[in-house]
Amino acid sequence: MAVSELGGVVELEGWERVPEQPLPSRVLSGILRFARAKPLGAFCGFVVIFFMIIGDLVPETLNKASSLAGLGTPAPYLADVLEKNTTVVYPYFQDSLRDRLEGSSLNHLLGTDPTGRDLFSRILFGARTAVMVSFGAVFISQAIASAIGIASGYYGGLADKLAYRVVDVFTALPGLVVLITVLGVFGSGLWQLILVLGVYGGPLNSRVLRGQTIYIMASPFIDAARVMGASDRRIMLRYVLPNVFPLIILAATVQLGFIVLLEATLSFLGYGLPEPYPSWGRMLSLDGRNYMRAHPGLAIYPGVAIALLVFSFNLFGDALRDVLDPRLRGSR
């Protein structure tokens, strides 16, 4: 290890610089360590990634990145590939009244719904809705939460008090009632859902970050940064944010499952995506109650998909917390 002293580098005796591994192998060994410590959590992590690929979030991101870099769109959408190359995946809107309410068969793996749309395909495409809404809303939430939490923890005083009165009001609101009101009055859709769920969750998640910011503000390195002449913005972005980042990740994994459930509930009540877009919650809605008696699969499979995704999010989040949170390390 080298200590730099007024421009000169002094080698300390007995210290040897550990050669740094290249990034991919470090990431890989990190994942392996996580999998060895938390096998169930890692498995649930893979289920989450599986849903992300089905939901086309991974190909979407890759394509965006590569088209920005000028490489075109190399990553295929899984659902599109399956639709072209297999006989069991259909477009989610393709109905055929001739084979409505069919049971499971080789053509329709999970049967068909009252208008003859393939249930398996609709559940597959429904993953896209669930994954996009949950990740989008959580991203917005955590961005708002860190802005409010870090700023009010950093400045303190009157601004902090005022901000936290408003946050208190948000916690005092009955969530589902407000969401139904907003989405019902202003109309619903993919972006409305993401935005409304994201903004609603923002203040609620900021409390933890504020606490951690106040805790960090007492550390010597903040004083050091200030002595060096760093601006408020620089301290917040370069010194506080990296230190609250693990907390943001943890809150996000907890929130993901919660948002999936909330989106399903809102769609179930009729305030989600409009038809014909597939949403797991809407597929269970009571309009189809009479058909569910004829084809019970209609009542089972979408719910299994919701439960599986939420379950994986929750367990993956738990495992991540055990690994990331130093207070819980070594305990259960």
Partner 1 sequence: MQTYILQRLLLAIPTVILVTILTFLFLRVFLPANVIDQIMGEYARTDLELRAKLEKELGLSSGLPNQYAEWLGVAWFWGGPEGVLQGNLGESLYNGKPIMSELIHRVPVSLELGLWGQFSALALAMPLGVWAALRQDHWPDYGLRSLAILINALPGFWVAVLLLTFGSLWFDWAPPLRFEYLWDDPVAHVGIMLTPALLIGLTPSGGLIRLVRTQMLEVLRQDYVRTAYAKGLASHAVLYRHALRNALIPVVTVVGVGLPNVIAGTVIFEQIFLIPGMGRYLVTSVDNLDYPVILGLNLIFAVLLVLAVLIVDISYAFIDPRIRFS
Residues that bind partner 1 (CB under 8 A): 165-166, 168-169, 172-178, 180-182, 184-187, 257, 261, 264-265, 268-270, 281, 284, 286, 289, 292-293, 296, 299-300, 303, 306-308, 310-311, 314-315
Sign of the CA dihedral 301, 307, 311, 313? positive
- Return the number of the residue (154 or 280) whose C-beta is nearest partner 1: 280
Shortest Å distance, C-beta 48 to partner 1: 13
Residue with tokens 């038809």: 275
H/E segment holding residue 28 = helix 23-37
CB 283 within 8 A of CB 295: no
List the one residue out of 112, 63, 54, 115 whose CA is nearest residue 82: 54
CB 115 within 8 A of CB 170: no
- Return the number of the residue (105 or 171) whose C-beta is nearest partner 1: 171
- Return the number of the residue (3 or 178) whose C-beta is nearest partner 1: 178
List the one residue out of 303, 250, 304, 312 whose CA is nearest residue 47: 312
- Return the number of the residue (240 or 283) whose C-beta is nearest partner 1: 283
- Return the number of the residue (38 or 90) whose C-beta is nearest partner 1: 38
Which residues have CB under 8 Å from 67's CB, separation 6+? 73
Shortest Å distance, C-beta 111 to partner 1: 14
Shortest Å distance, C-beta 264 to partner 1: 5
| Distance, CA of 118 to CA of 99 (rounded, Å) | 10
CB 241 within 8 A of CB 147: no
Shortest Å distance, C-beta 147 to partner 1: 19
Shortest Å distance, C-beta 301 to partner 1: 11
- Return the number of the residue (103 or 296) whose C-beta is nearest partner 1: 296
How far from chain centre, in Å, is Cα 201? 13
Shortest Å distance, C-beta 81 to partner 1: 29
List the one residue out of 93, 118, 96 whose CA is nearest residue 107: 118
